[in-house]
């Protein structure tokens, strides 16, 4: 499949993963709290987050909500290239964000799709899968 550049319009391949809060890693229960979307064809990498405190507290009444928000903020900033992440490519940052880890915020499996507007699809995915 040939890459579609932004100037050409049309559909471009993208990859995305849900960001999940895991308040008690040992239990494996998760709440979707964000989405990260990457399109190499469109030079696009961005994450959006939404924390539903009620849903998180249903899994763990003592969950560190501020810690979850801070972890999500760090993911969003890394996607934007802030800090040391700025020295890496978007693809490297996406792979780092979606790598398996045992922390309070984890990425789910990577999925693929086609989009003519990755920013709009990121918002749509957040609304459908997180909110």
Q: What is the pLDDT of residues 32-71, one digit of tens each?
A: 999 999 999 999 999 999 999 999 999 999 999 999 999 9
Closest CA relative to residue 130, chosen from 11, 58, 47: 47
In the chain, domain spans: 12-129
DSSP element (H, E) containing 114: strand 111-115
Q: Count other C-beta atoms under 10 Å from residue 85's C-beta.
A: 20
**CA 22 to CA 30: how far, in whole Å?**
5
pTM above 0.85, yes or no: yes
Q: Which of 52, 48, 43, 49 is nearest to 23 (CA)?
A: 52
CA atoms within 13 A on the CB side of 32: 16
pLDDT in tens, 84-102: 888 999 999 999 999 998 8
DSSP letter (8 states) at residue 101: -
């Amino acid at each position: 499949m040939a890459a579609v550049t932004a100037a050409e319009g049309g559909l471009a391949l993208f990859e995305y993963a849900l960001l999940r809060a895991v308040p008690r890693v040992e239990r494996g229960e998760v709440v979707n709290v964000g989405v990260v979307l990457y399109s190499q064809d469109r030079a696009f990498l961005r994450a959006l987050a939404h924390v539903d405190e009620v849903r998180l507290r249903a899994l763990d009444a003592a969950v560190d909500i501020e810690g979850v928000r801070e972890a999500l903020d760090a993911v969003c900033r890394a996607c934007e290239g802030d800090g040391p992440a700025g020295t890496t490519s978007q693809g490297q940052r996406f792979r780092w964000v979606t790598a398996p880890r045992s922390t309070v915020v984890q990425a789910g499996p990577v999925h693929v799709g086609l989009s003519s507007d990755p920013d709009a699809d990121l918002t749509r995915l957040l609304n459908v899968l997180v909110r």
